[in-house]
Amino acid sequence: MNVIIAVSSKGSVTKTTLISNLAGLLADSGYRVLAIDAENTQPALSSHYPIVEQATNGFIKLIKERCLGPEVISKTSIDGLDIVVSDDRSDTLSEYILHEADGRYRISQALKTAEDH
Ligand SMILES: Nc1ncnc2c1ncn2[C@@H]1O[C@H](COP(=O)(O)OP(=O)(O)OP(=O)(O)O)[C@@H](O)[C@H]1O
Ligand SMILES: [Mg+2]
């Protein structure tokens, strides 16, 4: 399993666009891709590809329960491209992550549970 992230200390430098295009390109090339939208108030990645099967949960459950199962993984219209949608529009997770001792490690913990699949 390979993990690709885009980070920048500046806003609006096209991180989301890059990840979105890369996810679609890799899926079209035959890779199984899971995109994770961790943005809170402006969850752009969640709207770039049409969702054809919406999971009951999204990024909040991934963070709070270190969960990366079918209940948080939605299917997009692109074959091989799934997504964990952002569902934290009221921005509750920033505070939550800050006050949990292992808050900053929750994504990597969740990813470890998915590694075998
Ligand atoms: N190659 C491009 N040429 C012109 N505009 C672009 C290009 N790529 C992306 N944009 C536009 O630039 C804006 C910022 O892009 P994007 O949302 O991907 O950046 P971001 O780094 O994720 O921003 P944020 O820090 O808000 O999360 C968007 O309106 C996007 O449509
Ligand atoms: Mg962005």
Nearest-CA residue for ligand 1 atom 6 is: 14
Residue 31 in domain: yes
Whole-number Å distance between alpha carbons of 59 and 89: 11
**Domains in the chain, number:** 1
CA 60 to chain centre: 10
Domain that holds residue 39: 15-114
Neighbours of ion ligand 2 (CB under 5 A): 15-16
In tens, the pLDDT along 62-92 reads: 999 998 999 999 999 999 999 999 999 999 9
Residue 5 in domain: no
Nearest-CA residue for ligand 1 atom 12 is: 14
Q: How confident is the model at residue 46 (pLDDT cuts 50, 70, 90)?
A: very high
Assess contact for 85 and 46: CB atoms under 8 A: yes
Residue 39 in domain: yes
**Two tokens, residue 101:** 């001792």
Assess contact for 74 and 83: CB atoms under 8 A: yes
pLDDT for the residue 115: 79
CATH of the domain at 54: 3.40.50.300
Q: What is the helix (H) or strand (E) element at residue 18, kind and residue range?
A: helix 15-28
In tens, the pLDDT along 88-108 reads: 999 999 999 999 999 999 999
Residue 43 in domain: yes
Residue 7 in domain: no
CA angle 74, 76, 77 (to 5 degrees): 150
Residue 47 in domain: yes
Residue 1 in domain: no
